[in-house]
Amino acid sequence: MTTTAPLCEAAPSAGLVIRRPRRLTAAMVEERDDRSRQEPAERARVRDLALVARTRDRDAFRRLFEHYGPRVKAYLRRLGADEDAAEDLTQEVFVSIWRRAAQFDPAKASVSTWVYTIARNKRIDSLRRDRTVLGEGDELDLEVDPAPCGDAVAEFNQMSARIMRAVETLPEEQKRLLKIFYFDEKPHSTIAAELGLPLGTVKSRLRLAIGKLRALLGDDRE
């Protein structure tokens, strides 16, 4: 636990509150370039969602389904849903997207984050529905708004751009571990066995990858 480290260029957002870096570094300029490279695809998806919201545009919705449907399914399969359950839940996710398209705010989250959040919530919802006495359609109040409020928005945008970039630039192995961590919900020991690595190695590499992302978020520990 450190309380001593002052803000420095290498860790622009250390500390409990996420602070805006003071000076533009080379990495940030690069990041901006990178973001503008990503923009067309994201812009197209934002536009499609807006079309769905405003005019119930089926073609736009189909484009979103074709891009995200197989990804949502892969996410659900990796987390243990069988083929049929993954198909059914993917359908539910997209009915939700159809219903809620008007609630999407591009200033607050990327389309992929928004879709991820809905898929995550649907999955948790279905797990609990299986276990409890809740009836069909008795949706749990799981709405976690992916959007921070007010002043946090600008910082959040910077932060999520940094995260997107950070994920892209992680070494392949760490990226794979992160994906396993996020999407496979396996005990670390199973991951280790599958990768043929000692358990300690998996734990420390996973910590390393998360640590890098944490540094970008501004470490929470004081």
Partner 1 sequence: MNTELTRDDLLFEHAAGHLPEPIALVVDTHLALSAEARARFAACLALGGALLEEVEPEPLAAGAWQRLERKLERERALPRRESEPVDPRVPRPLRRLVPRGFDALPWRNLGPAQEVVLPIGPPGYRTRLLRLKAGKSVPRHTHEGHELTVVIEGGFTDVQGHHVRGDLVIADPSVEHRPIADPDGDCLCLAVTDAPLRLTGPIGRLLNPLLRI
Residues 74-103 that bind partner 1 (CB under 8 A): 74-75, 77-79, 83, 86-87, 90-91, 94-95, 98-100
* Contact status: 195 vs partner 1 (CB under 8 A): no
CA distances from 120 to 71, 89, 103, 125 (A): 12, 11, 17, 8
Q: Which stretch binds partner 1 (CB under 8 A): 3-11, 12-20, 24-32, 189-197?
A: 12-20
- Residue 24 or 133: the one with the smaller Cβ distance to partner 1 is 133
* Contact status: 156 vs partner 1 (CB under 8 A): yes
* Contact status: 192 vs partner 1 (CB under 8 A): no
Question: Minimum CB separation from partner 1 for residue 95, in Å?
Answer: 6
Distance CA 180, CA 30 (A): 28
| The binder of partner 1 chosen from 14, 49, 120, 191 (CB under 8 A) | 120
Q: Which stretch binds partner 1 (CB under 8 A): 3-11, 25-33, 190-198, 206-214?
A: 206-214
* Contact status: 119 vs partner 1 (CB under 8 A): yes
* Contact status: 167 vs partner 1 (CB under 8 A): yes
Question: Minimum CB separation from partner 1 for residue 190, in Å?
Answer: 14
Q: Which residues contact 134 (CB under 8 A, 6 or more apart)?
A: 128, 140
Residues in 50-69 that interact with partner 1 by CB under 8 A? 58, 61-62, 65-66, 68-69
Both structure tokens of 66: 């074709």
Question: Minimum CB separation from partner 1 for residue 114, in Å?
Answer: 7
CA distances from 110 to 101, 124, 211 (A): 13, 21, 23
CA distances from 91 to 32, 65, 128, 170 (A): 35, 10, 18, 32
- Residue 47 or 98: the one with the smaller Cβ distance to partner 1 is 98
Measured in degrees and rounded to the nearest 5, phi and psi for residue 11 equal -125, 75
Distance CA 198, CA 80 (A): 24
Distance CA 31, CA 218 (A): 18
- Residue 168 or 194: the one with the smaller Cβ distance to partner 1 is 168
